[in-house]
Structures are given as structure tokens and as C-alpha cells.
Chains A and B, each alone.
Chain A
Amino acid sequence: MSDVDIKQTLLNYQKIMDQSSYPYINDVSAYEKLSKIGQGTFGEVFKARCKSTGRMVALKKILMENEKEGFPITALREVKMLEQLKHQNITDLIEVCSAKGSSSNTKDRTTFYLVFAFCEHDLAGLLSNQKVRMQLVHVKTMMKHLITGLNKLHRSRILHRDMKAANVLISKEGVLKLADFGLARPFVQRENSAAPRPLYTNRVVTLWYRPPELLLGDRQYGTKIDVWGAGCIMAEMWTRQPIMQGDTEQRQLQLISGLCGSICPQVWPNCVNMPLWGAMIAEPNTALPQRKPRVLRDRMNKIIKYDPSDAKLPASFQHGPDEEAMCLLEHLLSIDPDKRPTADEAEDDIWFFKEPFPRENVGDLMETIPNSQFEYTVGKGAHAGRGRHHNNQPRPHQQQRQQSNAIPAGQYRDTIF
């Protein structure tokens, strides 16, 4: 066998495969690309229209250029999980399309596009737009959707690992959807088992939404990391901006201590077992200040006073969120992961069964928002890993969906057994 033979084999295969028909996969030409609405480490995102049905979609291109190990496992995981997850509160993967990559002559490879149902808004954009007036019933409905979607995710044994307002999309109908499964992974649930739990990478979750156990280097985390994120998002519904915006991991821990009280063995017995606990507590300017009170409740009430939209709110909301809402928020933002409710428990929280009842959707809220909000500048999403830009315009969601740069593209091994 010589070089020529193998090369010839490859060329033969390419020829054969080129001539073959593929009955089950659509070509991307079935969609008409309208505009580029986002770019990130994992690929570009386009807004497009299905030529046959007129349905609006988001096309997410899978980048293959830097892959040494064939098709990226992260993309494969994402497709695999999204195929399993059919839920009204989880972003809907319609199909995967292929396109003959005829760009440069270097590698004549196929390009694949994930085709998502198009969502008009993301929550981060919606919240940063001060013109969007949200009532308590909207908040409650959106939280209900969020937690229902999260519950579905966790019941399917999947960790999202990138919960943040920017990854929460809202369709035109006012249905909230969890998106961006670029960091998600299936997990093993071993209860009552002496076997050690698998180790996952702790370089996940955008810093502002990262729970204390991840900041302390835990690698055996579970579903509760997403619950913390849900808590952050819930608070953000009222504060209209991320509640803890640290720029380093130490700073983030200090912010958490300042808001939720000190991280100490009294509130979280297991914290001393965290990998970074010993090193961090010994530092002179420690990231773990002790004897800080938990001021979450006070702060929430104070922040809500500043909300300029209170004129339109019902009476109960004008005095801050009601007691049940505060109770749920306190639980979601528990320092000790074991004290946080599971998504299942949170879904059954009493708050959702009190007046005003959560609605089917927040369609009425969507109607108040003007529709032409897609302004896109290339690269906006690419560097947005540490947070989002504080402009007052609601931005297209897709650029935010790409900011999973906690893990560089192609780093697919995040479990160490």
C-alpha cells in the first residue's frame, strides 16, 4: 500500500458520496438566510426563513475547522440532547442541515447547521430594555416556565451548566425556552451509591451566575448548580440586571458573601471539603469574608423600590415581591447546594399556586414590545463570555447564545473518571 492508494481511496469515497443521495437530511439551501445574528466560539448564527413553509428559524453553523478529532463531540452532544428534549420550555431543534463546504479548496468537507425554531427575544435583552414593563404575573409565568424547563432537563439527566438570562429565549407567543446546550452534558445520578461520582470540569457557567461550590473548585456537582442560576435569573427579573457582577472568581465569591451571607461551615457544613476552601480561607485578603449577614431580602426590597415601572404594577408588587416569592428566592440562592430545592420541588412551590396565578404565556407582554429589534454587529457575542453589554436595546438572543467560552472549542473531555 502506498500513499497514493489511500489518497485515491479517499478521493473515490468523496466522489461516490458526492453522487449519492441522502434521503433524510435537508440541504441548507432549503432555508433562505436573512441575516447574521450572532457569532461565537462554536459558530455563526443566522436568521433564516424556510423556503417551503415560510417558518422563521435560527441556523447555527457547526465549526469544524479546528477539530482534530473529527466531528466535535460537544456539537454531537448538543444535537443528541436536543433531539431527546422535546418540551415547550426548551428550545426546539427542528433538524440538522448539511451544506457542501465548497469554500476553500483545502478541505472539501461538509458543513452542518443546527436549525432552531426562531425566538424573537432573549430574557437579558428584555430585562435591559426599560421600556418593557413587567408585572408580577409576567415574572411568575416566566419563572414557572423556566423552572418547568429546568425540571424537564434534570429529569432527562442533563445538566445545563450555562444558566443565565441571555440563554433564556422568549418566543413571539410569550413562551420561555431554555437555550444553548453548548456546555450541557448528561450526568449520572447515583443515589445511595458508595462509588465516587464522576468528576466534571468546574470551568462552566458564566461567572455572574456561578454558584459558590463551583467557585470553590467542586468537580462533583450536580443539578443544583443550575438551580442557583435560576435563582440569579429570578432576582434579575426585578433588579433588571445581573445581581452579582464579579470580574474575578474571588470577587464573585465576595459578592456572594456580601449578598447571601458568609460562606461558612455553619450554613454549609460541606464547604470545608471543597478543593479550594483551604487555600482561599488562608489568604490575607480572603475571598471568603466571615461573619457577613445575609442581606438578600433587604436588598431585594430596596432594589425594587427603585423600579421605575411601579405605576403599572399591582399593589402587592409595589411593596416588593410578596413573601412567597422571597421565600422561593431565598431557597434558590442557598449557599449550601443541598439546601437548594430541586427543580422539581421548585416547580411545586407554593408561590406558583397563589394569586396572581401564572398564565399560559406572556404573550400580552410580547405585544407591547416593538418588533424591529434586530441590530447586529459582528463580534458582539464573541467576547461576551463574562457578561453582557449594558445597552438599553434588547439584543438579538443568538449572539448571547454563543458565549460559552468558559471552555474553549474542541475541549470535549470534561469528565475525568
Chain B
Amino acid sequence: MSSSNKLIAEMNGTRYGSMIHPWLTKKDFMINRTPSRRDGMSYEEEMRRRQTGGLFIYEIMLTLSHGKGEHGMSGVAITLLHRFFNVHSLRHIDVRDVAAACVFLAGKNEDSPKKLKYVVNQLWQMKFPHMKQFPSEQVFIDQCNVVTFLEEMVLKTIAFDINIDLPHQAVLKLMRDIEKGRNVYKEMVKTAYYMASDVLLITDWSVRYSCAAIAVACINIAAFFHNINMDDIVPLEMAERWYKLQDTTMTRGDVNSMTDEFIDLFSRNPHLHIGSLKKIDQYGKVKIQGASPPPQVSSSTLAPSGSSSSNLKKIDLEAYKGRQKTASTGSNDPTPSTSSRPSFLPDVKNQRVVEEGLMMEQRRHAEYQRQQQQQQYRSSQPAPSSTGSYRSTGSSGSSSSSRHHQNLKRPIQPESHNSKKPRPSDYSIAFRAQTSTTHSTTTTDGYFCETTRTTTTTSEISEYAREFSQVAPPPPPPQLTAPPAPPPIPSLMSLPVSEPESAYKRMFMKQQPDRFVSSRRPSLKTALASRSSEYRAHPQQPLPPQQQNLMISSTQQISPPDESSPPNSTATMLLPPPPPPPILPPLHHHHHRGDEIEEGELV
């Protein structure tokens, strides 16, 4: 076991790191022998409460540091918390009180003390969100006393063992050793570094593994999410010992079990996706179980399904941040479709430049038509639905482009890193994208999550596909994590989207006669035609023929649903390289130009 307390005596003379007392326990202890267990609390309940404490620390640190979050301090605080509850039972103690005391103490420990009144105030607001103020000064003083009392108790419990090592430096050092200064996997290191804080908060590793071990696990997990196999990038001479450079008791089994533990935790608990973990799964490698949508969707696509306004606000902000980065790489285009996540593969940049050129042209073309249409529609449209679709269209535009970037990378990956992924599946997906209609392409989103994790054979795929073609469209498949459609356009989700274009059109017109004005049709067709001709008119586009083929066909087929069912943004999932065509003209008919620019800035 990597974390055996022996180490404390073995390394550095009498100490391991700066730990004085044997804090590191084994999983067996955590499951069977903690004080809470002796007090009759189940392991699950204890872990849930500890994680609550971790989330609490995360939240309180965010507020106390004005949104910055202080990695060192939250890491120290959670370590104190776990140590405390390895000595005391959770049963009769509110974990949040202890968490506040730990934050208070960690602030002093890290030499940036937080005022007691701020900590207590924050604690109060998070414990009793319905009460903004303290009912009386005496309550405030009592609450202060609770925190300071628990602070003393924490100190007493941990016996002033307050030089707490954190894994962050170990992450950097280990990667420096592995890369030998090449600094190629910058993004991965960044992920691992930022992850380290959040991992400490949601796991009990701070009392089970040395920080060197946690650093190794973070690197391995970050590599997993970046489609990198650590064994491929580790220099030959440290092939079987890169994970034990700093903590010599680490084994490959430890690394794997820690990784598995994290992935398991990550997939089962969307509510634990805090801080950097929200965006960690760039490639959608882990299928998230549970009610809420997968994290990679949440950053950009959640908007249509977001029920609360605060949710919307947060997401818009994130998408906005993503946009800024893209803009800095060279595009000054304020439209939402350029808002893509920064990509991790180098060759995408060139691609993006080409795309953006394309998009500009297309947009200029579409703009003209849109303006004409807007003039027509504004008079005929009812006002109330406008705000709802306002957001959803914007976000679908941005999400589709980000999707599209992911897609672009996918065919490249198997050659570079991921030998696991079978090529045939790519083809079959392409095939299905060509032949089937929007509905089946939507399902491939969930499908992708599957394939990246487990190797699937071609037969399974076809079976899978068949299954989906047989499923009656109206209730969308469950693992689509179907974001509940926003109020304005609920009927769209239940549309039988697998109909051919004409049938689809018919259905659509039947269901929403008021929204669909017949005069629009011809203009859309011309738009489509001009768009596809534009694609063909750019032979310099550096795409493999297979992709190009896919792109054209899917554009043609997907565009009709796109134009009418904006919230179903997964429909654009398979849209390949050229950015999702400016399908937007019909969608934006409620808004005039000024609105749209503003939207582009916002998203």
C-alpha cells in the first residue's frame, strides 16, 4: 500500500513529508473502522457527508476569495476535515460547522487569514439560506463560538500537525521529470494541476495516499481525459517506475485503482463536478449516470434546458469565456458560431481559420436574407415566445460549433493516441449519418460516450443502430439525457424526426402552422443551395474526402430539422468540419440585427 504509515518513519529520517502523525489510512479503515462506523453510520453516508464538507469548503472558499478560489487553502482545509473525522464520529456533528472551522484555520495556516465574521457569515448563509441575517447578535456570537471552539478541537485532534503537503507541486515536478523539459503536454499538466485541488475535495485521498501518490493519480486521470496513455509518453528508462519516483511504494495497481475510483465517482456523482472538474471531460469519455446531463454538454448546450435563470447566466458566461479565447486566436467575428472551446490538438487551428473564412462568407449571405425575413416575421410573430428561443438559438449555435470541433478531431485521434477505438465504427457512424436522419445522429452522441470507454465491435454497432432505428422517435431515448425542452417549443422534441425531409416538413407545418410561413421556404432553399455550392467551391479545404462527403450529405439532411428545432442541439453533433452552416436565418426571425450581435457577445 502506497500510503502505509511505515513511510513516515522510513523516509526523511523520521518523517514522511512534513507529516508528524500517521494520518494515512487504508481503504479498509475508511470502510470498516472509522469512528463514524463505530457510531453506527454507514460507509456511504459517511462518504456523502465528507463530500458535503468538501463541497462546502469549495463554496465557502469561492465566496471568501471573491470567486478566485484558493487551491492551497481548500486543500489544507479538506485535509484537516478528513483528519478530524478520522478521529471523531460524524454522527452528532454538523460537517459544515467543522468545515467552516477548517477553512478558518486553513486561512491562518496559509498566511492569508480570513476574518472570523466573514467565515461565520458565510457559514450561516449556507446553512440557513432562507435567513439572510442573523436573528440576533447573540446568535452571531454563539455561531462564532461554535467555529472557534471547533477550530481548537481541530487543532487538538490533529495535534498541531499543520504542515500539510499538497499534491500540486508534486504534479509539476513529476511531469517535469517525465517530459524532461519538453513541455509538450502543457494542457494535460494544467488539467492535472487544477484537478488536484478538486480531487482532494471530493475524495478521501488526503487521508489515504501521500501527496506524491495523489499527484501520480491526477496525472494519470488527466492523461485519460486527454486521450493520452501515460505509458506512451513516459521515457523508456522510467517505464515501470514513473509512478514511484516520489512515493516509492506506489504500484501500477494503486495508480489504476485510484483512477478507477475517480472515474467511478465522477460518473456517478454529477453534483461533485466542481471547479475544474466541470470541464475536465472534453472528449466526453465518461458516461455520466444520473439525472443531470453530462458535463461536456453542460458548458454549452445546457442553455435550452436550463430551467432557472441563474443556470442560464452561468452557462452563458462560460461560453463567453470560451469565445474570448477563440477571438484571441485571430477571429474578430462576433457571431456566436465562432465560440468554440480551445482545442487541444494542434492542427485544428488552421482548420478553424479556413472555417471562419467560410463562415464569414456564408454569414454575409445569410445576413441579407435574414434581414429581409425579419422584416416579414416581426409583424406576424407573437411576442412571448421570443425570449425563450432567443437564448436557445444562440446557445445551439455555439454548441454546434464546439461539437463540430470535437468531431473534427475524432477521426484523427485513432491514429495518434487511441488504438482502442475501432476504425470501422467511425465509418459506420459516417454511414449512418449519411443515410439515417437526424434522430439517429442524435443518438450517436450517447453512443460516442460508450465507444470511447469500451471497445465495441462492428456487429454491436449495427445492432445498436438498428435498435435505435426501430425505436419509435416520439419519446427520445433516455441516455440522450434529453434536456427537457424549454416551454416555447415543447412540441418540437416529440417530432418524429426520422422522417424524410418532405414528410418532416409536412409534419412541421401541420404542428406549427402559425410559425411557419410558406413564403419562407424558397428563400431557405436558395440559402441551402448557395451554401452547398460554397462548400464545393473551396477545394483547398484540407479535409479528407471521407469527411467532406459526410459533411455535405449531413448538412443537407440535417439542415431542415436544424432550422426548425433549435433546442435539440445534439442534432448538430455529427456536423463535420465546416462549421454548422448559418442555419440560423429562419430561427432568428424574431430578432433584429442589434439583438443578435449582443447575443454573440453574451454567449
Contacts and interface: CB of A to CB of B under 8 A. Distances in A.
A285 interface: no
Contacts of B108: 70-71, 73, 76, 412
A220 interface: no
A69 B97 contact: no
Interface in B136-153: 136, 138-139, 142-143, 145-153
Chain A interface residue bracket vs B: 35 or more
A20 B88 contact: yes
B156 A25 contact: yes
A95 B113 contact: no
Nearest to B140: A6
B156 A1 contact: no
Contact of A24 (B131, B148, B153, B159): B159
Contacts of A95: 159-160
A414 B152 CA distance: 23
Nearest to B91: A16
Interface string B143-176: 1011111111101111111110000000000000
Interface stretch (A36-44, A79-87, A313-321, A397-405): A79-87
Given A3-B142, A6-B143, A73-B113, A25 B159 contact: yes
A286 interface: no
Nearest to A110: B152
Interface stretch (A7-15, A174-182, A352-360, A385-393): A7-15
A190 interface: no
Interface residues of B, number: 43
Given A13-B93, A83-B18, A70 B148 contact: yes
Interface in A53-101: 68-71, 73, 76-77, 79-80, 83-84, 95-96, 98
Contacts of A17: 88, 149, 153
A112 B152 CA distance: 9
Contacts of B159: 22, 24-25, 95-96
A183 to B, nearest CB: 15
Contact of A109 (B109, B111, B152): B152
A1 B152 contact: no
Nearest to B164: A80
Interface in B68-101: 87-88, 92-94, 97
Contacts of B152: 70-71, 109-110
Nearest to A74: B108
Nearest to A111: B152
B105 interface: yes
B364 interface: no
Contact of B160 (A6, A79, A413): A79
Contacts of A110: 152-153, 156
A371 interface: no
B88 A24 contact: no
A44 to B, nearest CB: 19
A306 B131 CA distance: 76
Main secondary structure of the interface of A (DSSP, over half): mixed
A278 interface: no
Contact of A10 (B21, B135, B145): B145
B113 to A, nearest CB: 6
A13 B104 CA distance: 18
Contacts of A368: none
Given A22-B157, A412-B113, A7 B142 contact: yes
B418 to A, nearest CB: 42
Contact of B155 (A6, A71, A186): A71
A52 interface: no
A2 interface: yes
A109 B113 contact: no
Contacts of A71: 105, 108, 148, 151-152, 155
Contacts of A84: 18, 163
Contacts of A6: 139, 142-143, 146
A83 B20 contact: yes
B431 interface: no
Interface in B149-207: 149-153, 155-163
Nearest to B160: A96
Contacts of A83: 18, 20, 160-163
B427 interface: no
Given A23-B87, A69-B116, A186-B111, A3 B150 contact: no
A201 to B, nearest CB: 14
Given A12-B92, A71-B151, A71-B152, A3 B135 contact: yes
Nearest to A73: B108
B520 interface: no
B148 A16 contact: no
Interface in B1-53: 18, 20-21
Contacts of B131: 1
A23 B161 CA distance: 13
B115 interface: yes
A16 B93 contact: yes
Contacts of B162: 76, 79-80, 83
A309 B21 CA distance: 50
A359 B145 CA distance: 53
B87 A9 contact: no
Given A6-B143, A9-B97, A76-B108, A14 B149 contact: yes
B544 to A, nearest CB: 48
Contacts of A13: 93, 97, 146, 149-150, 153
Given A24-B158, A70-B104, A3 B88 contact: no
Contacts of B135: 1-3
Interface in A255-283: none
A16 B92 contact: yes
Nearest to A415: B111
Nearest to A20: B88
Of A24, A71, A76, A186, most B-chain CB atoms within 10 Å: A24
B128 interface: yes
Nearest to A79: B160
Contacts of A186: 111
Contacts of B93: 13, 16
A99 B357 CA distance: 74
Nearest to B23: A24
A181 B311 CA distance: 50
Contacts of B148: 70-71
A16 B88 CA distance: 9
B340 to A, nearest CB: 34
B549 to A, nearest CB: 55
Interface string A102-138: 0000000110100000000000000000000000000
Nearest to A108: B149
A109 B162 CA distance: 20
A6 B138 CA distance: 9
A20 B115 CA distance: 29
Nearest to A186: B111
B543 to A, nearest CB: 46
A266 B532 CA distance: 79
Nearest to B98: A13
Interface string B115-145: 1100000000000100100011011001101
Nearest to B127: A1
Contacts of A413: 113
B108 to A, nearest CB: 4
Interface in B431-476: none
Given A24-B159, A110-B156, A70 B147 contact: yes
B155 A112 contact: yes
A16 B84 CA distance: 13
Contacts of A16: 88, 92-93
A415 B112 CA distance: 9
13 contacts: A3-B139, A13-B149, A22-B156, A24-B158, A70-B116, A73-B108, A79-B162, A80-B162, A83-B20, A95-B160, A110-B152, A110-B153, A112-B160
Pairs A-B, 3 closest by C-beta atoms: A24-B159, A25-B159, A6-B142
Given A76-B105, A80-B162, A98-B156, 7 more contacts: A6-B139, A17-B149, A70-B104, A70-B147, A95-B160, A112-B156, A412-B113
